[in-house]
Amino acid sequence: MSMYRDLHRGTARATVLRTVGTRERRSHLTAPRVPTVGIDIGGTKVMAGVVDADGNILEKLRTETPDKSKSPKVVEDTITELVLDLSDRHDVHAVGIGAAGWVDADRNRVLFAPHLSWRNEPLRDRLAGRLAVPVMVDNDANTAAWAEWRFGAGRGEDHLVMITLGTGIGGAILEDGQVKRGKFGVAGEFGHMQVVPGGHRCPCGNRGCWEQYSSGNALVREARELAAAESPVAYGITDRVGGNIGEITGPLITELARSGDAMCVELLQDIGQWLGVGIANLAAALDPSCFVIGGGVSAADDLLIAPARDAFRRHLTGRGYRPEARIVKAQLGPEAGMVGAADLARLVARRFRRANRRRVERYERYAQAGRG
């Protein structure tokens, strides 16, 4: 009899685990269809928006990020003001935050943010104490990847890797409808894979990191070095900025490349080739079905992505004998992180509503018992 109970208990436990796993995979489908606020915090801007269950932005606000020398409370004040402002005009049920930094596995603390003064900052708890709705915190690349998987270029993919090319390189991994955050919450820091031993020094402290060769910073650095050296190939861009080399930016390089400037085209090809090398390394490790390329540098479209695809095919392990992952440009643009944060917050809203319902039911039972 005891053995029967043990077997039955084991079967029941397995059933529960399968049910929990299924619920997690389907959670985005069963979450309440209520509006939520998404916040995207970067080094230069804070973007906030009310997003519905279909990923549509109902209203968006944007402000500059407070100076990084200021206390974390200043940034939290800014977030609170934006949420309260939006709440005046919308029925907000939860708030999701995508932060440019490392977020712990519990999605409460920002362990480190390179562009802000957050160090082991309990952001979720601090904001939840000031706002009347639940708060969810995640890395901004994770929230952008979630948005692209739900509403953008990654729809229908079971194994997706997103790479965000901005000043550096961020990334995220999604498998079977779940963001893979790692044991400590900091998975996806692809930009700091070392691709060139002893290469360019990276602000992270190491040398030869991927983002030193394929990012907005790398693109601008190369262009400015050529201009400073008075290279004849840089005359076009030097004339465009009137000799003020500090005014050379990534968007300007992309603009000139589209108009046919040979140096700018070549620089984007170089960045794209390094992008393809890194993607091939990630394919060897993770074997996803799709790579989604987002971030500001992805605005260069095929000037960047075409050479990335070529380099990927040349460096892919087992090339010619394995299926190749698709490499596509993100569809949601700079709003992806905000939309993804809002959508992930709807899962918190569901738990919040259930907890509230249970509290109400308990209160009603106690009230009835008191009357009895």
| pLDDT tens per residue, range 281-298 | 999 999 999 999 999 898
335 and 130 Cβ atoms separated by less than 8 Å: no
Average pLDDT over residues 288-309: 93
Residue 51 scores a pLDDT above 50: yes
> How much is the pLDDT for 68?
58
CB atoms within 10 A of CB 28: 17
> How much is the pLDDT for 8?
46
CA 145 to CA 273: how far, in whole Å?
Answer: 22
Residue 350's pLDDT band (cuts 50, 70, 90): low
Q: What is the pTM assigned to this prediction? A: 0.82
pLDDT tens for 209-267 read 999 999 999 999 999 999 999 999 999 999 999 999 999 999 999 999 999 999 999 99
> How much is the pLDDT for 360?
45
- Reading the block at residue 20, the tokens are 């929990």
Q: Output 359-362 pairs: Cβ under 8 A, ≥24 positions apart.
A: none
DSSP structure class, residue 206: -
Count how many Cα atoms sit within 13 Å of the Cα of residue 30 in the half-sphere of its side chain.
Answer: 10
> How much is the pLDDT for 42?
78
- Give the distance between the most distant pair of CA atoms in the chain: 92
CB atoms within 10 A of CB 370: 7
Residue 191's pLDDT band (cuts 50, 70, 90): very high
Residue 100 scores a pLDDT above 90: no
Residue 13 scores a pLDDT above 50: no
* In the chain, beta strands by DSSP E: 36-41, 45-51, 57-64, 95-99, 102-103, 110-112, 119-121, 135-139, 159-165, 169-175, 178-179, 290-294, 326-329
Q: What percent of the chain has pLDDT over 90?
A: 58
* In 52-157, beta strands by DSSP E: 57-64, 95-99, 102-103, 110-112, 119-121, 135-139
Look-up: residue for tokens 């700079």? 334
**Residue whose C-alpha is closest to residue 57's, from 348, 333, 319:** 333
Q: The sheet that has 326-329: what strands, in order across it?
A: 178-179, 169-175, 159-165, 290-294, 326-329
Q: 327 or 132: whose pLDDT is higher?
A: 327
CA 163 to CA 36: how far, in whole Å?
Answer: 25
25 and 19 Cβ atoms separated by less than 8 Å: no
114 and 100 Cβ atoms separated by less than 8 Å: yes
Residue 114's pLDDT band (cuts 50, 70, 90): confident
SS3 assignment, position 40: strand
